[in-house]
Amino acid sequence: MYEQTTQGICVSVQPSFMETHSAPEDGRFVWAYSIRIENKGRQTVRLMTRHWEITDARGETHEVDGDGVIGEQPVIDPGNSFEYTSGAPLATPSGFMVGSYRMETDTGESIDVAIPAFSLDSPYLNTPIH
């Protein structure tokens, strides 16, 4: 589990390799990642946008921007949380993701909330032994 807190908003991520959706022989590796966003602050927030940087084992980075998550712009009151699961494909057996959410408080203030960097590792990763 990966976790990071920004201004009272705690984001935790649990990635998992999706063997049944992957085709290693075709260079397709798929991960699911479950995210929990917990509001430990004092203000209600709405998740407005997301930004992802997805990097494969060759160092190639793909950026993704969009409104909300999974078609929603959830409102998270203090003491409450929001959870969702999404996925990411790569052409390599490993990589990593990192990102941020743009939140808006009930007073109209914008907050950039960090999504911790997390590793995408599959059982097809060839690790040299020295």
Q: What are the pLDDT digits (tens) for 73-120?
A: 999 999 999 999 999 999 999 999 999 999 999 999 999 999 999 999
Give the angle 72-114-5 at the CA atoms, nearest 5°: 105
Residue 128 lies in a domain: no
Backbone angles phi, psi at 21, to 5 degrees: -100, -5
Number of domains, the chain: 1
Residue 18 lies in a domain: yes
Residue 7 lies in a domain: yes
Residue 115 lies in a domain: yes
Residue 126 lies in a domain: no
pTM of the model: 0.92
Q: What token pair was written down for 36?
A: 């929990």
Confidence of residue 69 (pLDDT cuts 50, 70, 90): very high
